[in-house]
Amino acid sequence: MLETNVLETTYNILAIMRGTTVDGPGFRTSIYLAGCHHACPGCHNPQSWNPRSGETMKLREILEIVEEENFNVTLSGGDPLFHPESTKILIDALAEKGRKVWVYTGFTWEEIIADPRLRNAVKNAAVVVDGPFIERLKDPDLLFRGSSNQRLIDVALSFSSGKPSTL
């Protein structure tokens, strides 16, 4: 059971897409968080870079929407790891509710593992789609990613094996 003060954690949300099939397998609820400093050339969502854009929502409000939809969840943005502490709270709350969480980030798996804050944030995620979008590597035929440098990282397997394990 989540503590009341945790449920009051706030997020700047650009959009919540209900029942989408483009950000991971099956129907999902995709939550787009504001804030990104990667500034990838060719980014499909540059309006997401400003961490103060979007609508301020509390964790309890986000969880209500997720429960209404009853789908697994994808966190995108922006970059959810732009705010690793609050993203950890969100991932942990979603995992506690039985949701498999995918996280899209411009950080590579190696950068995530090297930074305790980032590593701790994703430990309860199912999959991390890692790496910056690189316009010259763009490939519209790739499944659930925009450029060929990006990987679908199985989080649990990667933590247990000590090396990035891809799907």
pLDDT in tens, 64-85: 999 999 999 999 999 999 999 9
Amino acid 61: pLDDT: 97
State how far the Cα of 16 lies from the Cα of 7, in Å rounded to an integer.
Answer: 18
Helix, strand, or coil (residue 32): strand
**Does 2 score more than 80 pLDDT?**
no
Greatest extent of the chain over all pairs of C-alpha atoms, in Å:
46
Per cent of the chain over pLDDT 70 is 99
How would you write 97-140 as a 3-class SS string?
CCCCEEEECCCCHHHHHHCHHHHHHHCCCCEEEECCCCHHHECC
Question: Could you tell me the pTM of the whole model?
Answer: 0.94
The correct answer on CATH 2.30.110.10 for the domain covering 6-143+152-161 is no
Q: Look up residue 119 and give its two tokens.
A: 């590593």
Going from N- to C-terminal start, the domains of the chain cover 6-143+152-161
